[in-house]
Structure 1
């Protein structure tokens, strides 16, 4: 089946926490609907039963630089190209939105996935509140 990535797809507040939980991440229920108000744009993919099976978003000031985050694909739909198409569509939308640079952080085990999507590995830093 061919799945379609839709920018700013209507998503119910509980759908992303449920998807996050399925991939082993914290639900972060309190983030929704605030995330939709604060990010530049998001993308989603639904299956034939209208269930959300993939999600990701780009945040930032909306000027030159954006930050891609929370690329999630339901475990039953991984390794089917959905994640790559989701990221590529978010990057296309970034260009339409006027962003010149999109960055992200990822677990090293996902390096090849993000290179396939067009990202160039680079060094950076991370600050996390203790």
Structure 2
């Protein structure tokens, strides 16, 4: 949530306590597959996550960083509820995750994203670079 001065009313929390259904519900609200079977297993396997609740205590933002916890981490699932997008919450979420990555000792954080989000992630400090993607054949 945002105040008139552009600041968030509530704080983005690292490892915010979550119910297993909350992230899949938020994923579905932005048009993604809910991946219900991933939760709560994901919380046991990622390095850390961050979340934000609104005044009604509903989850409105979520993201996480996974990896071996050594030098490199992978940021994934940066999600902001459609009714709360374009208010600075996504950038605050990414920044909070990167601050935690630094505190955690990670030196490199990578992510993949649709090219339409180039400006957003560049503004968050990411440098676009080439990469590759492998998918299992069905």
Gaps of 5+ in 1: none
Please give the residue correspondences for 1:52-63 in structure 2 after superposition, counting only pairs within 5 Å.
52-63=59-70
SS of match in other structure, 1:99: coil
The question of 1:71 aligning with 2:78 is answered: yes
The equivalent residue for 2:101 is: 94
Q: Alpha-carbon deviations, 1:9-57, whole Å to 9, x = none?
A: 0010000000000000000000001000000000000001110000000
Match of 1:121 in 2: 128
Equivalenced residue count is 130
Measure, in 1, the Cα distance between the counterparts of 2:115 and 2:11: 28
Once residues 38 and 79 of structure 1 are traced to their aligned partners in structure 2, the CA distance between those partners, rounded to angstroms, is 30
Alignment gaps of 5+ in structure 2: none
Moved over 6 A (4+): none
User: What TM-score does the superposition give when structure 1 sets the normalisation length?
Assistant: 0.99
Q: Report the aligned-residue RMSD.
A: 0.6
- 2:90 — aligned with what? 83
